[in-house]
Amino acid sequence: MAVEPLEWDTPLFQTAITQYEQALPHADVDAAAAARLRFPERAVMVSVPVRLDDGTWSVFPAYRVKHSSVLGPTKGGIRYDPHVSLGECAALSMWMTWKCALLRLPYGGAKGGVRCDPRQLSLAEVQRVTRRYTAEMMSVIGPQEDIPAPDMATNEQTMAWMMDTYSMQKGYAVPEIVTGKPISIGGSIFRNEATGVGVVMVVERACERLGWRLRDQRCVVQGFGKVGGIAAHDLVHRGAKVIAVSDFSGGVHASDGLDLEHVQRWVDEHGSLAGYAEADHVSNAELLELHCDVLVLAALENQLTGANAHRVNAKLIAEGANGPTSVEADTILADRGILVLPDVLTNAGGVTVSYFEWVQDLGRLFWNRNEIRARLGEKMSDAFDRVWSLSLQRDLSLRTAALVGGIREVAAALSARGIYP
């Protein structure tokens, strides 16, 4: 029985559903599981009243959507952004489910956030938003139920406030309630770098399969934050050339390669790339169309669409962000022979080290950097190899192969458990 449209039925959720439907025929899933997994299990919407520094009040809509708890607690980030909506969280929670399952982490997907403009808020205001959001979500989060993590505009400090708010309610420290915390309160070594380094691990593995050398690649990186910034530095560290990077203020480009240390110092001092004098400035739209070998998308969703995909001048695209390529763009890029390394595989380093953090917290036993990096490498390579082989065997795009890999894991568990009652 068709009951659509549903409250979360937005363009981004439609993208997630269309990708799911493209993967389903190849995933051999029973009809009940296939129908069930089209829906998030639970969607919570609250409003977060916050006193601003000037004494006035704002009330922000906020969400937490859990897509699937079949494999374990739900897991996913919390974002602070003016575009946060029920539909966005629903789409992102579904992608988290496939991502966790593909990486064989014992989690389902979730995503949440507060619809606010973090650039307009002081640190004290962000702290009040975070603590009230956490208090509103007390009954739906938990170390065995749902474990938040950083996402757009949230970070270690945000997670520390969440952990503290939750722990104060419980009466004892509960480090395992969130991941991406500071190391001083049970965070994991390497969590900060994990998403960006994971992106480069996937790019490197893809280059190997294609017979390319990473050090010959000229790369453009959209985004210079927690994911893009780390990925850009790691690409250079591994010998590749980064010829352009961007942030919310626009992009900088030097066809001989950027001096990233210099760029980083500028950003640390001035807060953005604006005004950087040692390279040409390009708009975000121009950056996406620069001539390069590898284009890393590590900023926002919906960046390559039907409107610009035919002007992309890269050979390989790596999705560090979630959902940066629309369904239409996927088709255009495939027709043009441009390979897309999909988000659910490419940016999975973050949630993988989040899983390591949670395991370390639960066991109260902490691992060293080499151990974590090696385990991350194993997990990413294993998932990459499964996706690559399936894509070759069944003649599927890497995205569809990655989704098939994730969907099969969840559907097998759901079929084994059965649908309650």
Active site residues: 111
Site for ligand GLU in 77-106 (CB under 6 A): 77
Task: Return the range that interacts with ligand GLU (CB under 6 A); candidates 44-52, 300-308, 346-354, 378-386.
Answer: 346-354
Distance from C-alpha of 246 to C-alpha of 222, rounded to nearest angstrom: 5
Other beta carbons within 10 angstroms of residue 81's beta carbon come to 18
Which residue lies nearest ligand GLU, judged by its C-beta?
77
Site for ligand GLU in 310-339 (CB under 6 A): 322
Task: Return the range that interacts with ligand GLU (CB under 6 A); candidates 21-29, 49-57, 213-221, 344-352.
Answer: 344-352
Smallest gap, in angstroms, from Cβ of residue 338 to ligand GLU?
23
Phi/psi at 362 (5° precision): -65, -35
Phi/psi at 334 (5° precision): -65, -45
Q: Is 109 in the site for ligand GLU (CB under 6 A)?
A: no
Task: Return the range that interacts with ligand GLU (CB under 6 A); candidates 72-80, 128-136, 369-377, 408-416.
Answer: 72-80
The DSSP call for residue 142 is B
Q: Give the one residue of 229, 323, 342, 350 binding ligand GLU; rule: CB under 6 A.
A: 350
Q: Give the one residue of 40, 73, 76, 228 binding ligand GLU; rule: CB under 6 A.
A: 76
Cβ nearer to ligand GLU, comparing 126 with 252? 126
Cβ nearer to ligand GLU, comparing 293 with 357? 357
Contact predicate 295/245, CB 8 Å: no
Contact predicate 91/323, CB 8 Å: yes
Phi/psi at 47 (5° precision): -125, 140
Contact predicate 245/221, CB 8 Å: yes
Task: Return the range that interacts with ligand GLU (CB under 6 A); candidates 20-28, 58-66, 324-332, 347-355.
Answer: 347-355
Burial class of residue 87 in the structure, from the number of CB atoms within 10 Å of its CB (0-12 exposed, 13-18 middle, 19+ buried): buried
DSSP string, 258-327: --HHHHHHHHHHHSSSTT--SSEEE-HHHHHTS--SEEEE-S-SS-B-TTTGGG---SEEEE-SSS-B-H
Smallest gap, in angstroms, from Cβ of residue 44 to ligand GLU?
17
The DSSP call for residue 48 is E
Smallest gap, in angstroms, from Cβ of residue 238 to ligand GLU?
22
Query: DSSP strand E in 81-226: where?
Result: 108-114, 146-150, 218-222
Q: Give the one residue of 134, 158, 246, 347 binding ligand GLU; rule: CB under 6 A.
A: 347
Q: Give the one residue of 74, 134, 179, 326 binding ligand GLU; rule: CB under 6 A.
A: 179
Site for ligand GLU in 118-177 (CB under 6 A): 149, 151
Smallest gap, in angstroms, from Cβ of residue 289 to ligand GLU?
26
Task: Return the range that interacts with ligand GLU (CB under 6 A); candidates 51-59, 71-79, 211-219, 382-390.
Answer: 71-79
Task: Return the range that interacts with ligand GLU (CB under 6 A); candidates 70-78, 131-139, 279-287, 368-376.
Answer: 70-78
Smallest gap, in angstroms, from Cβ of residue 350 to ligand GLU?
4
The answer for residues whose C-beta is within 8 angstroms of residue 343's C-beta and 6 or more apart is 95, 99, 319, 320, 321, 322, 323, 324
Distance from C-alpha of 287 to C-alpha of 307, rounded to nearest angstrom: 15
Q: Is 75 in the site for ligand GLU (CB under 6 A)?
A: yes
Distance from C-alpha of 35 to C-alpha of 246, rounded to nearest angstrom: 40
Other beta carbons within 10 angstroms of residue 75's beta carbon come to 28
Cβ nearer to ligand GLU, comparing 246 with 322? 322
Alpha carbon 330 to chain centroid, angstroms: 18
Smallest gap, in angstroms, from Cβ of residue 319 to ligand GLU?
11
The answer for residues whose C-beta is within 8 angstroms of residue 193's C-beta and 6 or more apart is 230, 234
Cβ nearer to ligand GLU, comparing 95 with 224? 95
Cβ nearer to ligand GLU, comparing 149 with 267? 149
- Kindly give the pairing relationship between strand 250-253 and strand 280-282: antiparallel
Smallest gap, in angstroms, from Cβ of residue 121 to ligand GLU?
20
The site that binds ligand GLU (CB under 6 A) totals a number of residues, namely: 11
Q: Give the one residue of 325, 354, 360, 391 binding ligand GLU; rule: CB under 6 A.
A: 354
Smallest gap, in angstroms, from Cβ of residue 168 to ligand GLU?
22
**Would you tell me which residues interact with ligand GLU (CB under 6 A)?**
75-77, 149, 151, 179, 322, 347, 350-351, 354
